[in-house]
A and B are shown apart, each in its own frame.
Chain A
Amino acid sequence: MSNVFTRRREKLLALKSLRSGGPRSAPAPACPACGAEVPRGELHKNLYVCPRCGHHHAVSAYYRLSLVLDPGTFRELDERLASADPLAFPGYAGKLADAGRRTGLSEAVVTATGRIEGRRTAVGVLDSRFFMGSMSAAVGEKITRLVEYAEKNRLPLILFSASGGARMQEGILSLMQMAKTAAALEHFSAAGGLYISVFTHPTTGGVTASFASLGDYMLAEPEALVGFAGPRVVEQTIGQPVPEGFQSAEYQLDHGFLDAVVPRRELRATLSRLLRLHDPKGGRDR
């Protein structure tokens, strides 16, 4: 019986990963970093990391989950939460509908539970293709629910961020999600919960200034842009171009804001090791 459900869930995740810009759904794009046109099959085999220059391409939330979770363990939470366009902002409803059609997502974050090398985990992934992964109230709510779910079920929590920051069209209600998610994480932390934050390219603004910066462990993918103010805003402030490598993951590592920069191929093993280090049963086989 459980096998049937497992297979169904697996199929669903694979389909969603396809639908949302995963393997084979579009022609091979030129690498935004080096311009190399890598055949899609090769890129896919290489986990969407450019085999020429090592650039980590943006990937969809479902694809990310399929890379990290044990096969057959994915279970999505709050899949249907969406924005209600609270300010009746001009043009927003139509853009939401477009983004939904284009990505198959109802909002910019996918939250789920699943297992990583056998350990049950709560995982949230922001998807930069939906309004640049910006924090709508629905995004804040889904993340907060995930944190509360993890606390209630005593699960470790992993959040992958990729976000332009606040959702402008939801105004102040977007801003308040920073306080809401930070408060939920503080509560979770006080209860002894483990939270691993993984920055992916790019993460800026209100997401950097709230939940993404509050991890017990802070990781990032190579060369991911991580900052509060975006580089263009900083350039306007200082009146000159920002230095090479400014706000890259490696820069943040040098400045003391990350524990490690982890290539995509090593991400699952790294997360698994951290979960093992926090497992009361330690390294014993399960």
Chain B
Amino acid sequence: MNQTLTPVQRVALARNPQRPGTADFISALFTDFFELRGDRHFGEDPSILGGVALYHGQPVTVIGHRKGRTLEENLKFNFGMPSPEGYRKAQRLMEQAEKFRRPVITFIDTPGAYPGLEAEARGQGEAIARCLSILSALTVPVISVVTGEGGSGGALALGVGNSVLMLENAVYSVLSPEGFAAILWKDASRSNEACDVMKLTAADLLELGVIDEIIPEPEGGAHTAPGAVFTAVDDAISRSLAPLLKLSGSALARQRYKKFRAMGNQAIRRDRG
């Protein structure tokens, strides 16, 4: 554990291009991965990677954001910023998981949903909203792992899990620090200041009740020893999944509802009026 890193340093680690991403976790932790492509409405958005695979022999559905590592890949995957087609592909996979009674495992790593003209024209907001409602009601286990950047609604769209895990140097926030500074202070260059007040580190989120467990990273960050990270993530997913597999479908949906129903309770008070 690197207890001494500042939020700004963790944001940098979370964005490190060498950091393991969804594709790496899939090849390290799963076998027989079969990728599903396309939303069956408009197109295929490769910034979301999803499919069916075996997890320790058990069929599961895997969905995650994909950034790519080289500039060429970044461009192909739009730097991990999905379009509505990506979210609608994710919805299709979630519904398929429900049909075939497969647990869903998601990996979250995105600066946010793509804020472009075409994405707006095809209903980015609706696409994200529908992911939230579908995930919330699934009667199969859902485990979400925040592996890098958890940016805004585009991250949460894959994050409504029975169990939400987070790598030690991953970050998860209402908006990117740059966007936050731009909105609140009209000055995107104050993003470092934003990092300090946003409570976006894993330790902050554990304290706020937003995540369930922090997965430790090696000294220097996940990219310095990916093998150790794969083992730690595998252990954490296995430990979270085991008790969930014993619950009935309705109990799983109920647990997930209650969990998110309670989020932000500490943020509410009764006015004197």
Contact surface of A with B, Cβ cutoff 8 Å = 79-87, 89-90, 100, 106, 136-138, 140-141, 144, 166, 168-180, 182-187, 189-190, 205-206, 208-214, 227-229, 233-234, 237-238, 242-243, 246-247, 255-257
Contacts and interface: CB of A to CB of B under 8 A. Distances in A.
Contacts of B122: 255
Contacts of A237: 114-117
B190 to A, nearest CB: 12
Contacts of A229: 113, 115-116, 119-120, 124
B132 A182 contact: yes
A14 to B, nearest CB: 19
Contacts of A144: 261
Nearest to A176: B263
B130 interface: yes
Given A80-B271, A255-B121, 18 more contacts: A80-B270, A83-B267, A83-B269, A166-B152, A168-B184, A172-B198, A173-B264, A176-B210, A178-B132, A179-B132, A179-B160, A179-B263, A183-B136, A228-B124, A243-B117, A246-B120, A247-B120, A256-B123
Given A87-B197, A171-B198, A183-B136, A82 B269 contact: yes
Given A172-B172, A175-B174, A183-B133, A234 B267 contact: no
Interface residues of B, number: 58
Contacts of A175: 152-153, 156, 173-174
Given A87-B199, A140-B264, A179-B160, A168 B183 contact: yes
B67 to A, nearest CB: 17
A234 B117 contact: yes
Contacts of B159: 179
Contact of B115 (A168, A182, A234): A234
B180 interface: yes
Top 5 closest A-B pairs, CB basis?
Answer: A137-B264, A229-B115, A137-B267, A208-B125, A183-B136
Given A106-B273, A178-B156, A179-B159, A209 B124 contact: yes
Interface string B252-265: 00001100110111
B257 A183 contact: yes
A169 to B, nearest CB: 8
Interface string B122-157: 111110111011101100000000000000110011
